[in-house]
Chains A and B, each alone.
Chain A
């Protein structure tokens, strides 16, 4: 059957008129069948009627195209065109279907060998296509072949059945015509039109007709598992104040989906449909492992970024605090200095007030007093220092040792040049070593003339 479709497509591609070919083939087959019908066979007794019906039909309606006679299931009956009705007449289409059914039941009695050949190709996954309803093409088919009378009668019947809706439709069709007129206008004329005046099209009747044609039942009469669709209890848009507010909007969608999921789960479990995936059921997922890995990596990265940011913020805060501490320390030092100076000043004043009679003895006393004062101030400041370490703290011993070894503070230049003390110091000199150096050399001193000659040569 797929083959036949393909054939059609191929024919269309080649530009062969498939209708003609089909008609020819059909005629051939009809004649063949007629020949066979002549034989005394009981199972063909019924057949001529059906055939006659068929042949009559094919004569009456020249445009009727059966897809392929060998393939019964796909025998599509094209209902005839009608200009007034548009494509809205469902009744007619159904009539066509029922006719087809009758034919099929007629032919059911006989064993169709052709069916066996093609049965393998029709799998379960095939969909049943509905019969195609032909629509009139505007203007082109208005003066087409004269319609058979039977069809006209059918149309009239259908029209009576739908007379109520027909009136509405007429009104709407009027508006359609208006629009079509607009389409026919030339471009220059169309530009003159104000675009906002175009008529809105919302043809309720046609919409509902289309809906009824395609709808699959989703009410209580059928099991939920056949359609699995849930309509929310209240419009979701009500809970969205502002569509631009992403969080609220997504929350509303989430709530709608959650409601559906809960309801659907309850219904499915009640119907005995497996719902939860067992833990040992592994199958291909929509997102493959690579992608999930990526998602996971992204999550991890986000988490680490967050942690790093928190850390950095903490450091920043600490730094800010550390600065405060430093400032406080500096202020404290400045204060201590000021206090010391003040004390010295007051002491000096006291001394001068107590009398200038004292001599050298007084001066020494003064120095001692100042030292005391300063020491007291130092002690205070040392006590207030927060951390240990440094040159005066608890870990100072090591520092002192190192300072002694490598030196600390003071001038760096002239450190290795002699001063008076070092020049006078002969601690490193030993006569013995000096003599020993001399003893090692055995060459005696040459005479003056020879020495002179050597110097001249050099």
Chain B
């Protein structure tokens, strides 16, 4: 069997989503943001809601998310994506509104906004990319940084006495009655990618059912900020991040 006999339209099993634009993502090689963007595009395409979906992008490396997925977008001030999403969703209750936020954006500067959006039970989806660092600004400590983890602002490793403890914000948000679905996933292996896609699909379906706020954390890597190769970063994430941030559903009502 020659390659030409295999590479034919009728044998296609996977190709780039129609909703991903031709813009080259500005992310570093191997960055988790790219994988999650792809999954959001695929889910929106499969649910047939391209015209009804509005994303709110954050401040952080994914600030330009609106260049990559061909839907309507708004760009929020740092950490304020849940507040902006609240306004959009209340003005357009028939739309599918989601925020896309990093751990600095969501758990640090935007901690109040996410808490209250979850507590109010806004009918939105929140996609939370936890890479345990401020990627965009040069790898500073985030609330999610692990104890002992070296960052540009914790050069000797995060020390609980000086810097406090890693924040499991997802578990905190699950305590609030406005959240209907809270899950933590990853995107490092083919199986994990499939699970994250299913979680995202369920989250958007919850919006259709007007169930409240669905929160999908994806534990990811920032290989540049962590100063590792993409493959080593995935290994470090599995060995260290998953202990503090175990994968799986936390709440599903």
Q: Do A and B come from one complex?
A: no
